[in-house]
Amino acid sequence: MFEGKTILTGVKPTGTPHLGNYLGAIKPAIALGNKALEQGGKHYMFIADYHAINAEKNPEILREKTKEISCIYLASGLDPEKSFFFRQSDIPEIPEITTILYAYTPKGFMNKAHAYKAAVDKNREAGKPDDDGINMGLYTYPTLMAADIVAYDSDIVPVGKDQVQHVEIARDIAGAINAHYNKELLKLPTYYFDDNVAVVPGVDGRKMSKSYGNVIPLFEDDKSIKKAIFSIKTDSRPMEEPKNPDEILVYEIYKSIATPEQLKEMGDGLRQGKLGYGHIKNMLLDAVIAEIKEAREKYNYYMSHFDEVEEMLQKGAQKARPAAQATLKRLKDAVFGR
């Protein structure tokens, strides 16, 4: 389905990615991009730093998070020679395209956008006025995201569930512009949502999320990873008692990382009362460390040689810009009748 298609992914440099982000977003995004490349397509992967400033105002934190996220993607197998890998803020055409798209963005779309609605709901729960602390960047961010998407003629945008609506908004805006000028000025994007990517539970059994503080860290040292894994909730049943693996949280987390053979071994051991909680936590720990070992080494290298990464990002922006320039020109020519 990716033959000759342009795939685009944007990632906000906020928070420090955890194992759930890695297994649920980072790895699948890189795999999908590589698949598109193998099939003669293009892969754009950018750091959505203009999106991040709506919430994060501290430049040091923004710089650090951008550094972290770019090193994580490179360490996890993104090839900057083959994929377009760059910072959003290094493409000056994006805010220009956004301005044109604003004129075709019904305000009602923004009122209904998830990110804004979630912020309003949070305010209501806290008994605050609806728009408390909400800036125009957050309110209008689906239009900026639409500009990201149309700028590079994206066909397919792989997303998590929460972002589906935003891609639909991008498609609607692009469609409205094409209809108005009766010309295919912008490529209509579709989203791609992978049902097979499982939600990884956190150490307390809820979805692993930075906002719940229940994460297994990604590229920290073995000790920190071990500490998180050994804090996974268990009960006080003795090892000998046969257990249903599907009721055991360690097993649930193991599912997202283990091979079928490894999973069977843990499942059988639990059912037969041959594996205790200490054993299975160690099995999970070994699997996590094996999964990230190579990537962690690369990550540490890139973090301490960021000048090399910066160069890759700059080169990536140079390679990505012509597509955005061409889109902007098409738009300006049509809009201003040039």
Q: Is 16 in the site for ligand ADP (CB under 6 A)?
A: no
Q: Is 87 in the site for ligand TRP (CB under 6 A)?
A: no
Least distance (Å) from ligand TRP to the CB of residue 225?
A: 25
Least distance (Å) from ligand TRP to the CB of residue 167?
A: 7
Count interface residues toward ligand ADP (CB under 6 A): 13
Residue of 31, 199, 239, 326 interacting with ligand ADP (CB under 6 A): 199
Q: Is 148 in the site for ligand TRP (CB under 6 A)?
A: yes
Least distance (Å) from ligand TRP to the CB of residue 9?
A: 6
Is residue 282 classed exposed, middle or buried when 0-12, 13-18 and 19+ CB atoms within 10 A define those classes?
A: middle
Residue of 97, 156, 157, 215 interacting with ligand TRP (CB under 6 A): 157
Question: Amino acid identity, residue 234?
Answer: T
Cα dihedral 82, 167, 13, 221 in deg (nearest 10): -70
Q: Is 291 in the site for ligand TRP (CB under 6 A)?
A: no
Question: From residue 42 to residue 61, what is the string marking binding to ligand TRP with x (rule CB under 6 A)?
Answer: ------x--x----------
Q: Tokens 């061409």 sit at which residue?
A: 326
Q: CB–CB of 278/284 below 8 Å?
A: no
Q: CB–CB of 201/252 below 8 Å?
A: yes
Residue of 10, 20, 269, 316 interacting with ligand ADP (CB under 6 A): 20
Six-digit token pair at 333? 């020519």
In which element (H, E) is residue 5 found? none
In the complex with ligand ADP, the residue whose CB is nearer, 15 or 276, is 15
Give the DSSP letter string of 175-216: HHHHHHHTS--SPPPEEE--TTSPPPB-TTSSBP-GGGT-PP
Coil, helix or strand at residue 87: strand
In the complex with ligand TRP, the residue whose CB is nearer, 116 or 251, is 116
In the complex with ligand ADP, the residue whose CB is nearer, 15 or 77, is 15
Residue of 27, 114, 187, 207 interacting with ligand ADP (CB under 6 A): 207
Length in residues, the chain = 338
Residue number closest to ligand ADP, CB atom: 24
HSE at residue 212, side-chain half, CA atoms within 13 A, is 14
In the complex with ligand ADP, the residue whose CB is nearer, 29 or 270, is 29
Closest Cα to residue 105, out of 76, 138, 147, 135?
147
Q: Is 201 in the site for ligand TRP (CB under 6 A)?
A: no
Six-digit token pair at 101? 């798209």
Q: Is 119 in the site for ligand TRP (CB under 6 A)?
A: no
The count of other CB atoms within 10 Å of the CB of residue 173 is 26
Q: Where does this chain bind ligand TRP (CB under 6 A)? A: 8-10, 12, 48, 51, 145, 148-149, 157, 163, 166
Q: Where does this chain bind ligand ADP (CB under 6 A)? A: 15, 20-21, 24-25, 160, 199-200, 207-211
